[in-house]
Amino acid sequence: MKKDHALAMVEQAFNCGVKKGDISESTAKRYFGQVKTFFNTTLDEIKEQATDKKSRDAYNPKFWKAEWVEKHIDGLLERFHARSDKKPVSGSHVENCIHAFGKLQEIVKEHGVWKKNGIEKVRVGLKGSVEEGTGYLYKIYKEEATMHHDERTSMKATDQEYRMIVNNIDKVIPKTNLNYETVKNIILAQRHTGGRITAEINLKARNIDLEKMTKYYEKDKNNFSRKVPMDMSQKLFYANLTRGKADGSPLFPLFDKKGKQMSKEAASKYMQETYKKIAEKAGLVERDEKGNVTKRYTSHSTRRCFAQKLYDSTKFTSKKDLWKKIRNYVNLQGSNKEKIDQRIENERKRLNYYRLKKGLPMKPFTWDQMRKLYVMLHLGHSRTDTVGRCYVKLDPPLKRNFKKSN
């Protein structure tokens, strides 16, 4: 099978996914680009070095092997870690590649898009998940290859820097602009609960529970849903936002220049660009001698500001009370409680990896690990070390003074 014909089949499959409502048009284009790169790198190489019939017809999805896709992902990981002579890629690029193959596999199986070509399923390996500790997603999780570019350059912001952002919004968006109040409210909402920018934009009126004072992030990153507690001081803010709105109404609608409501993807991009412009006005951008941004206040910085405050609030909390806080968070989750508990247990296993390898019993979380675990859950992450590495400035280890005996 010729490359062009095979690529047309792949494009047709993703277009089918769009028609069936499985993915958006922009996601389909992005996923197709990922698989096209697989053709132009890994499959080209396999075909060139072919020693058997299947390898000689490597472009034909009927003959794909999971090990070929794994080889491609390993190559991307080498570039992520800058161990390759090729241009480095971001963690989000590697993750997107995995999702692209996972979605292609799903579409082919569920919609029979390639049945006329004699293909009922395509072998691309297991997408897996972090929670279950399986597949490609768990592999890149272990190699810490899930960080986006903005997360790497995003500064760990202080409350003062956050206020500088809020105070400079009107220098980028006039107060008369239709989006001014919404942009300001999204930034405030991020500071309240540390949600990702996409999670805040996706909020509907029904996701705010003023009685229990919770915010429900529905299908957040990796389709993982969770509830986060809100402070009573924020009740009036969310009461005003939800008043008179139908359950399915967006909490933070953004509009384009024609007055039409933006899609989730467009709104997210608009907010990221707005953050960049505000950061410039506020003087919260650092560059190297070549003019490349080395540090900037981004939407992740607001998440970090929230995380720092939450972490600092546990400084004088006992281990027993920390565990109560963690259990209170878990008990908010309702039907999702088991998944959160599994996430906690997976993290404990990861921290006890070498003990388990030696056949030793697992140790419980230390006081410091529990502080980071508490923040980790609120941020919707899966690893405690991500909190210390990417989100907060950790307290130095406690020093104990011992009196010298005479």
Predicted local distance difference test score (pLDDT) of residue 330: 95
Question: What confidence category does residue 403 fall into, taking pLDDT thresholds of 50, 70 and 90?
Answer: very low
Looking at residue 129, what is its pLDDT? 77
**Structure confidence at residue 148 (pLDDT):** 53
| Averaged pLDDT, 14-22 | 90
Q: What is the pLDDT of residue 404?
A: 44
pLDDT at res. 364: 95
Q: What is the mean pLDDT of residues 306-327?
A: 96
In three state form, how does the secondary structure of the chain look? CCHHHHHHHHHHHHHHHHHCCCCCHHHHHHHHHHHHHHHHHHHHHHHHCCCCHHHHCCCCHHHCCHHHHHHHHHHHHHHHCCCCCCCCCCHHHHHHHHHHHHHHHHHHHHHCCCHHHCCCCCCCCCCCECCCCEHHHHHHHHCCCCCCHHHHHECCCCHHHHHHHHHCHHHCCCCCCCCHHHHHHHHHHHHHHCCCHHHHHCCEHHHEECCCCEEEECCCHHHCCEEEECCHHHHHHHHHHHCCCCCCCECCCCECCCCCECCHHHHHHHHHHHHHHHHHHHCCEEECCCCCEEEECCHHHHHHHHHHHHHHCCCCCCHHHHHHHHHHHHHCCHHHHHHHHHHHHHHHHHHCHHHHHCCCCCCCCCHHHHHHHHHHHHHCCCCHHHHHHHHCCCCCCCCCCCCCCC
Q: What is the pLDDT of residues 228-249, one digit of tens each?
A: 999 999 999 999 999 999 999 9
Residue 201 has pLDDT above 80, yes or no: yes
pLDDT at residue 280 in the model: 95
Confidence of residue 8 (pLDDT cuts 50, 70, 90): very high
The pLDDT, as a whole number, for residue 292 is 79
pLDDT tens for each residue of 138-195: 888 777 676 554 556 788 889 999 999 999 999 999 999 999 999 999 999 999 999 9
The pLDDT of residue 265: 87
What's the confidence (pLDDT) of residue 370? 96
Q: What is the mean pLDDT of the chain?
A: 89
What pLDDT is attached to residue 130? 66
Q: Write down the pLDDT at residue 134.
A: 82
Q: What is the pLDDT of residues 254-310, one digit of tens each?
A: 999 999 999 988 999 999 999 999 999 999 999 888 887 888 999 999 999 999 999
More confident residue, 403 or 78: 78
The answer to whether the predicted template modeling score (pTM) of the entire model surpasses 0.85 is no
- Tens digit of each residue's pLDDT (9 = 90 or more) over 341-400: 988 998 898 888 788 888 999 999 999 999 999 999 999 987 888 888 788 888 886 544
Q: What is the pLDDT of residues 79-133, one digit of tens each?
A: 887 777 788 888 888 988 999 999 999 999 999 999 999 999 999 999 987 656 7
pLDDT of residue 150: 53
| Amino acid 147: pLDDT | 55
Query: What pLDDT, on the 0 to 100 scale, is given for residue 36?
Result: 96
